[in-house]
Chain A
Amino acid sequence: MNELMEMLKDRPFFEGLSEAHMKLLAACAALRSFEPDVCLFREHEPAEAFYLVRSGTVALESRLPGRGARTFATLGEGDMLGWSWLIPPYRWHYDARAITPVHTVHFDAAVLRDRMDHDPELGYALLKRFTGLIVERLQAARLQSLDIYGDADVGLGG
């Protein structure tokens, strides 16, 4: 558990959490690794976890009828993965697949959700961090959808 605590303390996402809350997070955490092509989770499955990606690349994918899986984002070292565990009905909204060997810290979100309900300070601290993460990803998705490299992207090149 000490090893996990040290690992989490280094990450900006957990910066500012109290010692007690860090201990609780570490108690809910375990190291998990995934071989290439293995799914960390699949769309519609119960969302009972979130992850800190320690190394490797994870593809977030949606399946389109007749077109197979389409990657809409990738996550890498230091990224947090998963917030569906925070929002009813607590089911994943997409697939997450390892595209290289992936090493993660896996958090038992079901336990944490229960603790957050009973400890508003913990609940607020984690919600604040996950809301920031959701906003970052939303901004990124908006930029992606704008097709900013279309014909208007001339630069001093044309």
Chain B
Amino acid sequence: MSVSAAEPAHEPMAPEPWRIRQVRREVADGEVFTWTMEPLSGEAAVARPGQFNMLYLFGVGEVAISISALADDGTPVHTIRAVGSVTRAMQDLGPGDVVGLRGPFGSAWPVAAAEGRDLVLAAGGIGLAPLRPVVHAVLARREAFGRVLVCYGARSPRDLIFRDELEQWRANPDLDLRVTVDRGTADWKGDVGVVTQLIDRGGFDGRNAIAMVCGPEVMMRFSALSLHRRGIAPERIHVSMERSMRCALGFCGHCQIGPHFVCRDGPVFPYPAMEPAFRVNEL
């Protein structure tokens, strides 16, 4: 397969056919699953951490899915939660099935800007998926970064995704992984509480740190407050927004927040650009 620049390949509104190579169930009931795919054309644009693709299940519909890893050959890996009509139908697909893909789209996490600094990643729920490529990028050039703290919160132990990889990260002295759940179980020996409490416990130099946050908006809002309280300037806190993306090109306006098109200007924004929106109900 050959790869080209980070712009969407070919005509941006026309999905290219991609074949599912591998499906991995991330949680016991299979509600969250990861697809490794390959383009039938043999060509794909290289994505950057934080970007997303539009995945099209022919005859059903199209959804924006963030890129949860880049395979060794540069092809994007997608982690999907089955919650809507399209993603529920996607749950039934397996290796060999073909879907449409447009992308990659949107802004990326500022990984280069984190070099020489401490890095705090705060993920909630499936928000770990768009942050995972950042961890991979950091581990590939670990010496370029200061302390790396990964805070991950989920609803319960059974909802934790990328479990095998979490174990690898936990054993890796180059990373400080902290995991918490809202509700523990009898056999859960880890932390119970919200992800903001992991941030509050610190372990980083706020004056020289950069933060990347992805999860439900209420979690991102409180995480940003905690990060700021720990000394990280708001402009060094970055959030990834989720809205109903349709065209992914900034034309249709479905994902508009004030002057920003989340699909084109985001999904990754500096926190100050989104902070006013966090204060508006139902925006």
Contacts and interface: CB of A to CB of B under 8 A. Distances in A.
Given A149-B154, A149-B216, A156 B193 contact: no
B218 A143 contact: yes
Interface in A54-85: 57, 59, 68, 70-74, 76-79
Specify which of A140, A151, A157 lies most central, judged by the most chain B CB atoms within 10 Å of its CB: A157
Contact of A155 (B186, B192, B215): B215
A87 interface: no
B155 A154 contact: no
Given A149-B154, A155-B242, A71 B192 contact: yes
Nearest to A150: B155
A15 B240 CA distance: 34
Contacts of A73: 192-193
A140 B218 CA distance: 12
A136 interface: yes
A38 interface: no
Interface string B175-206: 00000101110101111111011001110000
A99 interface: yes
Interface residues of A, number: 31
A144 interface: yes
Interface string B142-172: 0000000000011100010000000000000
Contacts of A71: 184, 188, 192
Q: Name the prevailing secondary structure of the B interface residues.
A: mixed
Contacts of B186: 68
Contacts of B83: 151, 154, 158
Nearest to B266: A156
B125 A143 contact: no
Interface string B56-69: 00000001111000
B81 A139 contact: no
B267 interface: yes
A114 interface: no
Nearest to A36: B189
Interface string A18-44: 000000000000000000000000000
B83 to A, nearest CB: 4
B35 to A, nearest CB: 11
Interface in B258-281: 267
Given A148-B216, A149-B216, A155-B242, A143 B194 contact: yes
Interface of B: 32, 52, 63-66, 79-84, 87, 124-127, 129-130, 153-155, 159, 180, 182-184, 186, 188-194, 196-197, 200-202, 214-216, 218-219, 222, 240, 242, 245, 267
Interface of A: 57, 59, 68, 70-74, 76-79, 99, 136, 139-140, 143-144, 146-158
